[in-house]
């Protein structure tokens, strides 16, 4: 078995060498072959030069450098694509993730889990700008994806390569990877990890990212439940809008016939036309989405299912 440690880096020059030494202390005591992949996400400080120097001295330390800043999701995706390990563990470069937790992740994987997520039980971050938005986001993600984890935002997780090799990440969606893998049948669990206070540099997280996470969450929900049947999503909305439009129209007729209230004195006729037209538009959007879905799968000869095992084929 081989282990791949993936480290996205953006302006972390002060912590890189310390993290490297801590990783080497832990990894050299394991029975795994390993590689460390550092991805420089367009740093403007001396981070790129530092990782290049380390790579020249250590064959197991590999580097990828972006031309500009593309974001943590892109950096993590590049690391996963380049990795050769059977088990992949991403972690932050700011020293808040503790390399000493790596053996516990590997132990859980050895017990049969495909994904092991870190849970920062005693999180060393600010309450109002980091902890509370994170609690809200974790609750919403668990509620909508139905994969209940305490801490989706913890970068340190362990994945079997086989469960994430075909997943493509966009936006801020790296934090939803446990939900994606569970959707494909992976066994997911979580373990408490040691979260340390930041010593160097500035956090790259802002409270506004929480809103972007919520927008990405809507995309994830759609992909999980409706990626192969979009008409069920758009058609359902269109059906209910049209239904309420008919109710509105029937109510307008009732008022006209039995209460002698003319159409011109009530907004119900306009509401009826509006709801029915918007409902029909949603149904037509569903038809277009069905065509696009079929084009997507059939043009790539891509199956709509995921096979765990075959025997005697």
Q: How do the pLDDT tens digits run along the chain, 313 residues long?
A: 699 999 999 999 999 999 999 999 999 999 889 999 999 999 999 999 999 999 999 999 999 999 898 888 889 989 999 999 999 999 999 999 999 999 999 999 999 999 999 999 888 777 766 778 778 888 888 888 888 999 988 999 999 999 988 777 776 778 889 988 888 889 999 999 998 888 877 766 655 666 777 777 788 778 777 888 899 999 999 999 999 999 999 999 999 998 888 888 889 999 999 999 999 999 999 999 888 888 877 777 766 555 655 555 6
Give this prediction's pTM: 0.78
What's the CA gap between 229 and 226, in Å, rounded? 5
* Domain 2-226 indexed as CATH 3.40.50.300: no
**Cα 304 from Cα 306, distance rounded (Å):** 7
Round to whole Å and give the CA distance between 65 and 7: 12
Taking the chain, what is the end-to-end CA distance rounded to the nearest angstrom?
Answer: 26
Strands 157-160 and 115-119: antiparallel
Contacts of 269 (CB under 8 A, 6+ apart): 249, 252, 263
- Given strand 188-192, what is the order of strands in its sheet? 61-65, 33-40, 2-9, 87-90, 157-160, 115-119, 188-192
């Amino acid at each position: 078995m081989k282990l791949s440690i993936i480290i996205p880096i953006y302006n972390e020059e002060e912590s890189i060498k310390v993290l490297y030494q801590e990783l080497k202390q832990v990894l050299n005591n394991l029975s795994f072959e390993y590689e460390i992949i550092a991805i420089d996400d367009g740093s403007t400080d001396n981070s790129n030069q530092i990782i290049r120097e380390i790579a020249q001295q250590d064959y197991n330390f590999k580097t990828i450098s972006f031309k500009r800043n593309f974001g943590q999701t892109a950096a993590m995706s590049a690391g996963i694509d380049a990795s050769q390990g059977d088990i992949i563990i991403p972690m932050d470069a700011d020293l808040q993730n503790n390399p000493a937790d790596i053996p516990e992740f590997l132990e859980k994987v050895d017990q049969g889990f495909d994904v092991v997520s870190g849970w920062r039980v005693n999180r060393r971050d600010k309450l109002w700008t980091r902890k509370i938005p994170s609690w809200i986001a974790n609750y919403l993600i668990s509620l909508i994806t139905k994969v209940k984890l305490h801490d989706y935002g913890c970068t340190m997780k362990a994945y079997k390569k086989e469960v994430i090799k075909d997943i493509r990440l966009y936006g801020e969606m790296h934090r939803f990877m446990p939900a994606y893998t569970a959707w494909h049948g992976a066994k997911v669990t979580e373990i408490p990890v040691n979260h340390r206070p930041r010593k160097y540099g500035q956090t790259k997280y802002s409270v506004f990212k929480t809103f972007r996470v919520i927008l990405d969450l809507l995309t994830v929900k759609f992909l999980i439940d409706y990626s192969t049947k979009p008409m069920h999503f758009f058609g359902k909305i269109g059906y209910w809008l049209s239904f309420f439009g008919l109710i509105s129209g029937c109510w307008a007729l009732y008022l006209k016939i039995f209460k002698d209230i003319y159409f011109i004195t009530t907004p119900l006729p306009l509401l009826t036309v509006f709801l029915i037209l918007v409902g029909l538009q949603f149904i037509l959007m569903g038809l277009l989405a069905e065509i696009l879905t079929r084009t997507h799968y059939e043009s790539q000869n891509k199956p709509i299912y995921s096979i765990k095992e075959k025997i005697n084929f």
